[in-house]
Amino acid sequence: KAGVTQTPRYLIKTRGQQVTLSCSPISGHRSVSWYQQTPGQGLQFLFEYFSETQRNKGNFPGRFSGRQFSNSRSEMNVSTLELGDSALYLCASSQMTGTSGNEQFFGPGTRLTVL
């Protein structure tokens, strides 16, 4: 079974631009969560999608948004990029949600650099 895939793996943008990152979960998994990892703030939860609906959201500004498609693939978008958005963005997939403690599988991440 293929793991979680994220594209692109590396991305360089300039301030003010917008970016879209993609995540394909493991086949059969319907929950996709996104995390931002920075040296200063560590790993922080962005949002979770299940069956095309956002189920939970972290404490990030509205510039960060996401969506999920009917095939469970998910995208996240960051508009009006700031230098502080430079980070590793990780996606995780799980079969279920609505209960806690589900095993989640992470992708390799997208390394975003904002210049």
Q: Catalog residues that contact another protein under the rule CB under 8 A.
A: 31, 33, 35, 42-45, 48, 50, 53-56, 58, 88, 90, 92, 94, 96-109, 111
Q: Which is nearer to another protein, 17 or 56 (CB)?
A: 56
Given the DSSP bridges, would you call strands 42-50 and 53-57 parallel, antiparallel or unpaired? antiparallel
Pair of tokens at residue 27:
């086949």
Distance of closest approach, residue 80 Cβ to another protein, in angstroms: 25
- Please name which of 93, 108, 101 lies closest in space to residue 29, comparing C-alpha atoms: 93
Tell me how far, at minimum, the Cβ of 79 lies from another protein, in Å.
23
The distance of closest approach from Cβ of residue 107 to another protein in the complex, given in angstroms and rounded to an integer, is: 7
Provide the minimum distance between the beta carbon of 64 and another protein in the complex, in angstroms, as a whole number: 15
Between residues 24 and 104, which has the closer beta carbon with respect to another protein?
104
Nearest to 92 by CA among 103, 108, 106, 74: 106
Judged by beta carbon, residue 53 or residue 80, the one nearer another protein is 53
Which SS3 state, helix, strand or coil, does residue 70 take? Answer: coil
- Residue 72, C-beta contacts closer than 8 angstroms, at least 6 positions apart: 24, 25, 29, 30, 32, 93
Closer by beta carbon to another protein, 9 or else 16: 9
